[in-house]
Amino acid sequence: MTSIDHANLARLDLNLLVAFDALLTERSVTRAAARIGLGQSAMSHNLARLRTLFGDELLTRGADGMRPTPRALALADPVRVTLSQIQAAVLQREAFDPSTTDRVFKIGLADSIEVAVIPGLVARLRQVAPGVGLRLRSINRISILEELDAGTLDLGIGVFNQGQIHHKRRPLYTDSFICLFNPTQLNVSPPISLEDYLRVPHVL
DNA sequence: TAGGTGAGTAACTGCCGAAC
DNA sequence: GTTCGGCAGTTACTCACCTA
């Protein structure tokens, strides 16, 4: 296990990391201050302390608002993951019991995935979590990541080849596609190869 | 069209008081 | 004595408007 440097960590104010996360999220001192209930001046002081702490400008003024430095971008994910873990450890409520909860989960997913996943999920919920409600929204995968960060979605289901460290991912199921074609028109004969498939125009 | 000017907005900074 | 946050003034920047 990694040892804790208590002497140095004692000098680190956790609120500064909260301020850092708000600044990276809002890209504005004023909005970041409002986000965590401080005045603009206090957030400006926090930014100054963060700059001293990390020895980097972190955010610089630009024509389009506050621009994060490479150092700030490198710190963004580790800080957010750390804050999430602290939040889970410190603010965790009583253990989640699916059989008694009446929580409503907001799920973002594509229509095609809804057809494949939701009937089975609803049947399962009736058995083990009868009080759970689902609020489904048809949404593209890029917006899903944004809305997860904003807290307007609890879960996103889709094909994700991008995302941040704090986006937890689990394989849900595998799927395959059927390719329909007219051998006469395309001048190919089954079974088609990958080269044949890529050579001709097609729609998905 | 280019340059000057003023208003508005946002960030920075010095100073101060409160809390510990 | 130290730290934190707010107040007030300053600075930097954008944008709209006016004029040559």
Q: How far is CA A121 from CA A12, A130, A132, in A?
A: 45, 12, 11
Give the pLDDT confidence score for residue A134 in this predicted structure: 92
- Chain B positions within 7 A of any protein Cβ atom are 10-14
How distant is C1' of B18 from CA of A146, in Å?
40
pTM here is 0.56
How distant is C1' of C19 from CA of A180, in Å?
69
How distant is C1' of C1 from CA of A66, in Å?
35
Q: Which domains does chain A have, with CATH numbers?
A: 6-90 (1.10.10.10)
For residue A66, say whether its CB is under 7 Å from any atom of strand B.
yes
Beta-bridge mates of residue A68:
A59
What is the SS3 assignment for A129?
coil
How distant is C1' of C2 from CA of A38, in Å?
21
| Lookup: tokens for A154 | 């609890």
Residue A182's contacts (CB-CB under 8 Å, 6 or more residues apart) are: none
Give the pLDDT confidence score for residue A114 in this predicted structure: 85
Q: What is the pLDDT along chain A (204 residues), one digit of tens a residue?
A: 455 555 555 556 677 787 788 888 777 777 777 777 677 777 777 787 777 777 777 777 765 667 777 787 888 877 877 777 776 666 655 567 888 888 889 898 888 788 888 888 999 999 998 899 999 988 877 778 777 776 778 888 887 766 666 677 778 877 777 777 787 787 877 787 888 888 887 765
Give the pLDDT confidence score for residue A170 in this predicted structure: 79
For residue A48, say whether its CB is under 7 Å from any atom of strand B.
yes
For residue A65, say whether its CB is under 7 Å from any atom of strand C.
no
Q: How far is CA A164 from CA A45, A60, A79, A117, A195, in A?
A: 28, 23, 12, 24, 34
